[in-house]
Amino acid sequence: MKEIYSREYRLTKPQEFQFVFQKARKIPSREHTILVRENDLGHPRLGLIVSKKCSKLAVERNRFKRIVRERFRREKDRIGGYDVLVIARPGLAKKDNRRLDSALERLWTTLAT
């Protein structure tokens, strides 16, 4: 089965982001905060917020987004019908890929339960 991160699995419009912000369950960590809200679609959707406060370099911000998208792509079947918004925190550039991936794995596991 081909696992892709298609458009149907993304939060794209400002209204969709606002929907999550309104009544979200918050799951914090040192690297990022995850906001979660149930949707009626039957599948999860992902939104990312990575500001310049997290890292001045676009390369660092894009690296974080790639790691989050890849982890989401692998875990989306376990998550269920939720809209998930990942907000990066400052200091992101200091974290290596393995640490970010393991932190995300813990958070996805928390979300799946």
Domain harbouring 81, CATH code: 3.30.230.10
Note the pLDDT of residue 1. 44
Q: Is 96 part of any domain? A: yes
Q: How far is it, in rounded angstroms, from Cα 108 to Cα 37? A: 14
Domain presence at residue 2: no
- Domain count of the chain? 1
Q: What is the mean pLDDT of residues 12-28?
A: 89
Domain annotation covers residue 13: yes
Of the listed ranges 28-37, 71-80, 102-111, the least confidently predicted one is 102-111
Q: What's the predicted TM-score (pTM) here? A: 0.85
pLDDT band at 2 (very low <50, low <70, confident <90, very high): low
- What are the pLDDT digits (tens) for 48-83? 999 998 888 899 889 888 888 888 888 888 888 888
The helix (run of H) or strand (run of E) holding residue 19 is helix 14-22
| 105 assigned to some structural domain | yes
Would you say residue 1 lies in a domain?
no
Residue 65 lies in a domain: yes
The answer to whether residue 67 sits within a structural domain is yes
Backbone phi, psi, residue 7, to 5°: -60, -30
Contacts of residue 29, defined as CB under 8 A and 6 or more positions apart, other chains included, come to: 103, 106, 107
Pick from 86, 82, 85, 79: nearest CA to 100:
86
pLDDT at 46: 92
Domain range for 32 is 7-112
